[in-house]
């Protein structure tokens, strides 16, 4: 079926050092729902698209499409929530103890010592952080048998490690920990970030910072484990580091760092690609950005969003944002927001009858690379070293959605965004 001509809704040229975006719509244009309560403390997204949240020690399930409360979970004083990858189990923690319950029946299967846990992707094991937030020990716990493998960080000198956060890769082969070392004599605090091999329990030091840095707060792997990121606290304000990971190895490369002035409070990866959503909040200033980690390009930036914990809901392709309010945002509409005051662009785009036309505004003898990418980071088309003058035409049937065209020319990246109508 022939598609009508879809003019691009946004035309963006953003280099690594030059990004100027302006809000074009109000927040109401992106909100799908706002939850009944604004006092939610912590939440996780279930694989079915619903949300398990805690508030004032009470846990309950929220409909991911409407934001309405579906049912309460009869567990006392819940402060921390995690969900297994298959959605069958929920971990509810409080006071250094964690109950493992069945999602359908809420029957308690196990109670274990440890206030922070993460499910391995096999849904049979947990990574458990000690008995509190500041603890030097970890354990891998088998949910079925109740057996644990305990291990601790080893101090490189006279001092103690205190682990503040943990995260597990999507395939379970690695996990990460953020910790700080307290030296006995000087009372200095040095921050560490380690990547571990799950089978051998061998840690590799990825990052270390001096005593001015605060503890690591949040660790996330992208789906497919291409990328790994963590937030860190500096004087109550957060920065962040993001790394690429070579598949099947310990090899990591720092690709993007946010310092304390960026104040990254929370982040989530969108899909398997290099697109990340970050939020921050300092005083009454809040922001939400959608960023390409490899180029530094910002696809969306709005100062009116409520900056707090943010998670991607893959089931509905939405963002769940907890801050001043608890809202669900339409990701497609957010990414299709029009842009004002942009830098001059070197090419225009049209999409008609399954064909993308890239019209250059000046003659360019060679383009090193052309890529078509969806908003989950999946590369749908790529071609290298094109000899052209002013136009590129690419046959590529696309479903409705938002897409990105990237051109690499003499070491520089140029990007446009276009929308295929529904």
What pLDDT was estimated at residue 2?
33
If 0-12 CB within 10 Å is exposed, 13-18 middle and 19+ buried, where does residue 128 land? buried
Q: Is 96 helix (H, G, I), strand (E, B) or coil?
A: coil
The model's pTM is 0.76
Cβ-based neighbour number of residue 205 at 10 Å: 10
Q: Is 355 helix (H, G, I), strand (E, B) or coil?
A: strand
Question: In b/e form, how buried is each residue of 283-310, taking b as 16+ CB within 10 angstroms?
Answer: eeebbbbbbbbbbbbbbbbbeebbbbbb
Where do we find the tokens 């992707």?
A: 121
> Is the distance from CB of 301 to CB of 14 less than 8 angstroms?
no
> Is the distance from CB of 190 to CB of 160 less than 8 angstroms?
no
Which regions of the chain are under pLDDT 50?
A: 1-25, 132-133, 338-344
First to last CA, the chain: 13
Cβ-based neighbour number of residue 182 at 10 Å: 17
What pLDDT was estimated at residue 189?
75
Cβ-based neighbour number of residue 41 at 10 Å: 16
Which sign, positive or negative, has the C-alpha torsion 98, 102, 108, 112? negative
What pLDDT was estimated at residue 299?
66
The helix (H) or strand (E) run that includes residue 331 is helix 331-335
Cβ-based neighbour number of residue 42 at 10 Å: 17
Task: Give phi and psi for 185, each to the nearest 5.
Answer: -75, -45
Domains with residue ranges and CATH for the chain: 6-11+341-420 (2.60.40.3080), 27-331 (2.130.10.10)
Q: Dihedral of the CA atoms 245, 226, 312, 73 (nearest 10)?
A: -70
- Tens of pLDDT, residues 332-358: 777 665 433 334 467 888 888 889 998
What pLDDT was estimated at residue 27?
57
């Amino acid at each position: 079926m022939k598609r009508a001509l879809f003019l691009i809704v946004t035309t963006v040229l953003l280099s690594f050092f030059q990004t100027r975006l302006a809000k074009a719509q109000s927040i109401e244009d992106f909100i799908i729902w706002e939850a009944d309560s604004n006092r939610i403390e912590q939440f996780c997204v279930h694989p079915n698209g619903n949300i398990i949240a805690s508030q004032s020690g009470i846990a309950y399930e929220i409909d991911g499409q409407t934001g309405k409360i579906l049912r309460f979970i009869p567990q006392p004083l819940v402060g921390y929530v995690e969900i297994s990858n298959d959605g069958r189990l929920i971990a509810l923690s409080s006071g250094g103890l964690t109950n493992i319950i069945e999602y359908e029946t809420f029957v308690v299967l196990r109670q274990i010592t440890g206030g922070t846990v993460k499910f391995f992707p096999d849904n049979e094991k947990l990574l458990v952080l000690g008995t509190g937030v500041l603890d030097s020990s970890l354990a891998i716990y088998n949910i079925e048998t109740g057996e644990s493998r305990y291990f601790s960080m080893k101090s490189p000198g006279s001092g103690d490690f205190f682990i503040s956060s943990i995260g597990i890769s999507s395939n379970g082969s690695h996990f990460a920990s953020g910790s700080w070392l307290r030296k006995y004599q000087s009372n200095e605090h040095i921050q560490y970030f380690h990547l571990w091999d799950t089978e051998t329990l061998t840690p590799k030091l990825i990052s270390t910072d001096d005593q001015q840095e605060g503890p690591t707060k949040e660790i996330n792997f992208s789906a497919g484990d291409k990328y790994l990121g963590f937030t860190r606290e500096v004087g109550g304000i957060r920065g962040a580091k993001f790394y690429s990971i070579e598949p099947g190895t310990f090899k990591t490369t720092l690709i993007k760092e946010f310092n304390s002035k960026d104040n990254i409070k929370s982040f989530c990866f969108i899909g398997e690609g290099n697109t990340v959503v970050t939020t921050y909040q300092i005083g009454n200033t809040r922001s939400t950005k959608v960023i390409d980690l490899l180029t530094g390009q910002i696809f969306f930036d709005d100062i009116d969003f409520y900056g707090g914990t943010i998670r991607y809901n893959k089931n509905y392709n939405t963002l769940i944002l907890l801050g001043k309010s608890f809202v669900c945002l339409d990701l497609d509409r957010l990414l299709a927001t029009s842009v004002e005051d942009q830098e001059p662009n070197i090419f225009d785009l049209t999409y008609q009858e399954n064909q993308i036309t890239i019209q250059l505004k000046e003659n360019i003898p060679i383009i090193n690379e052309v890529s078509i990418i969806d908003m989950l980071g999946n590369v749908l088309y790529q071609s290298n070293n094109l000899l052209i003058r002013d136009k590129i035409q690419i046959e590529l049937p696309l479903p409705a959605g938002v897409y990105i065209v990237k051109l690499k020319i003499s070491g520089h990246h140029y990007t446009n965004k276009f929308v295929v109508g529904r």
